[in-house]
Structure 1
Amino acid sequence: MLTKIDTAIKYGKQHGGFGIQILYPGLVLPQLNDTGLATIGRIDHARIKAGTLIPMHPHRDDEILTYLRTGSVQHRDSEGLTDVISNQKLMMMNAGANFYHEELVLEEGGVLEGLQIFIRPETAGLKPQVQFHQLQEIYSINQWRRIAGKGDDYPLQIRSNTWIMDIRLEAGSKTFLPEIVAENTVFLFYIFNGEIQVNGDMLLNSGESVLIGTAYPAFTALKTSDIVLFITQTNTAHFDGGMYSGNLQ
């Protein structure tokens, strides 16, 4: 199964210097009657003007990865943590039962572009926690890099069967999906920016993605491209009532 998800399915929001394009990946499969795809609830692709403050606000029962490619953010939360997030320092907020945070886009970092990714936990009411991870390099050139997931070999932990990787695929280079030995595995291959050809016929541009089931396609970069890969299992336990990751239907 190869199902292209173009930008027409996204919901756009713009308020002053704050703009996001929201992807509910389950909408491409209406037979599921779920706006999410198993544990993958929602993906926000954000572009935010420097100096913008996103004031203190709540989250509940979401596992939230902040993945930036440009810009930097001053983070503050109800757990008493403050830190600066950037394209080399990522943050996972495991919101659990009750969590608040605010973000200030710093002037010195310029315009922010990144993803805020809402993942569904296995169950509701978990203890809130916040994790940070310093990347050795901004980009992982032509090689899949583990970012967040369930298991000790992922630097940021997600409390459900979900795994997130990234890669910068240079123009002319080819890659395949990482080998995952598990039943009912599905992949969401998201183009943060660039241009990718799938199996020589399907074309993906910035902001587009492809949902992959049993296929094992080849991906060729027509331009240098930044890619984020989401992996889940269709039969895995998850709570779909989170504040942002939950099913909207």
Structure 2
Amino acid sequence: MIRIRHAGARGHFDHGWLKTWHTFSFAGYRDADHLRFRALRVMNEDIVAPGQGFGTHPHNDMEIVTYVLSGALEHRDSMGNGEVLRPGEFQRMSAGTGITHSEFNPSDSEPVHLYQIWLYPERKGIRPGYEQKAFPADQRHNRLRLVASPDTADGSLRIHQDARIWLADLDGSTAVQHQVSTDRHAWLQVLRGSVRLNGTPLGTSDGAAVSDETTLTIEADDPAEVMLFDLP
């Protein structure tokens, strides 16, 4: 079963400095039919204006994954980390017992376009942690590249949840496949372009919740970038 979450149906707010879209209920957006999917709690697409950002704020007991599509995002946190996240790089922050951080667009001319994703951790009270890693384009060209997992397989970032995240850049008229165990589920997020998931068409920023499907075929109609989640 494939259930589509169309981009235009998401919660949306334009704060001037921030344009944001919420796949699931978040902040001022409440939708009882879209609270979460399995361990996936937040799927936010944000565009932050030059010189703007999120001031220091707290998190706890959540695995937070950030991916930049264009521009750059400066991160600082209470663990002493201070990094700039750029396209092709993934960031994982385990909020655990508690962390504060800020995110800022350091450019004076270019907006930053990003996805921020939250997953429930496997347990509460995990020690806070941070990782950032670049995944070169050739590693995800016309293939699913594992970028996060519970066991750091294939050099992926570690997330404290039995979930795996893949990223793929697809040329037009190409396809990739993924096998899903019978007791697991999947979420596909189209970051840009258009694809067909087992024949079901999806466009830019569309998402799809998948259950009771053991083989996923992702076919690109034109150049596309997708993020795939394998979830308990």
* TM-score, normalised via structure 2 length: 0.89
Counterpart contact for 1:89–1:135, Cα < 8 Å: yes
Counterpart contact for 1:73–1:86, Cα < 8 Å: yes
Unmatched 5+ stretches in structure 1: 234-249
Shift of 1:143: 0.4
Counterpart contact for 1:196–1:221, Cα < 8 Å: yes
Partner of 1:220: 219
Code of the aligned partner of 1:222: D
Code of the aligned partner of 1:228: M
Once the two structures are superposed, residues 182-205 of structure 1 have per-residue CA deviations (whole angstroms, 9 ceiling, x without a partner) of 4411111111111112344x2211
In structure 2, relative to structure 1, the CA distance for the partners of 1:45 and 1:36 (3 Å cut) is: same
Shift of 1:163: 0.8
For the residue of structure 1 that corresponds to 2:221, the secondary structure is strand
Counterpart contact for 2:55–2:102, Cα < 8 Å: yes
Shift of 1:142: 0.5
Shift of 1:85: 0.8
Query: Does 2:201 correspond to 1:203?
Result: yes
For the residue of structure 2 that corresponds to 1:124, the secondary structure is coil
For the residue of structure 1 that corresponds to 2:193, the secondary structure is strand
Code of the aligned partner of 1:110: E
Shift of 1:7: 2.2
2: distance between equivalents of 1:48 and 1:138? Answer: 28
Counterpart contact for 1:87–1:138, Cα < 8 Å: no
Equivalences, count: 226
2: distance between equivalents of 1:63 and 1:74? Answer: 19
Unmatched 5+ stretches in structure 2: none
- CA RMSD, Structure 1 to Structure 2 (Å): 2.2
In structure 2, relative to structure 1, the CA distance for the partners of 1:133 and 1:11 (3 Å cut) is: same
Code of the aligned partner of 2:197: V
* TM-score, normalised via structure 1 length: 0.83
In structure 2, relative to structure 1, the CA distance for the partners of 1:28 and 1:226 (3 Å cut) is: farther
Once the two structures are superposed, residues 62-100 of structure 1 have per-residue CA deviations (whole angstroms, 9 ceiling, x without a partner) of 100111111112211100111111113321110011100
In structure 2, relative to structure 1, the CA distance for the partners of 1:134 and 1:36 (3 Å cut) is: same
Partner of 1:114: 114
Once the two structures are superposed, residues 193-235 of structure 1 have per-residue CA deviations (whole angstroms, 9 ceiling, x without a partner) of 11112344x22111112222222243221111110001101xx
Counterpart contact for 1:71–1:106, Cα < 8 Å: no
Q: How does 1:49-198 map to 2 (within 5 A)?
A: 49-107=49-107, 110-137=110-137, 140-153=140-153, 154-177=155-178, 179-180=179-180, 182-198=181-197
For the residue of structure 2 that corresponds to 1:122, the secondary structure is coil
Counterpart contact for 2:190–2:206, Cα < 8 Å: yes
Identity percentage over the alignment? 19
For the residue of structure 2 that corresponds to 1:161, the secondary structure is coil
Once the two structures are superposed, residues 125-175 of structure 1 have per-residue CA deviations (whole angstroms, 9 ceiling, x without a partner) of 211111111223387211000111111305211111111111011111122
Counterpart contact for 2:5–2:23, Cα < 8 Å: no
Partner of 1:241: none
Once the two structures are superposed, residues 9-64 of structure 1 have per-residue CA deviations (whole angstroms, 9 ceiling, x without a partner) of 41112212211111129x9995xxx7112211110011111211311011111100
1: distance between equivalents of 2:80 and 2:109? Answer: 24
In structure 2, relative to structure 1, the CA distance for the partners of 1:174 and 1:136 (3 Å cut) is: closer
Counterpart contact for 2:139–2:145, Cα < 8 Å: no
Structure 1 stretch displaced more, 83-92 or 129-138: 129-138
Structure 1 stretch displaced more, 129-138 or 58-67: 129-138
In structure 2, relative to structure 1, the CA distance for the partners of 1:155 and 1:199 (3 Å cut) is: closer
In structure 2, relative to structure 1, the CA distance for the partners of 1:228 and 1:107 (3 Å cut) is: same
Code of the aligned partner of 1:209: G
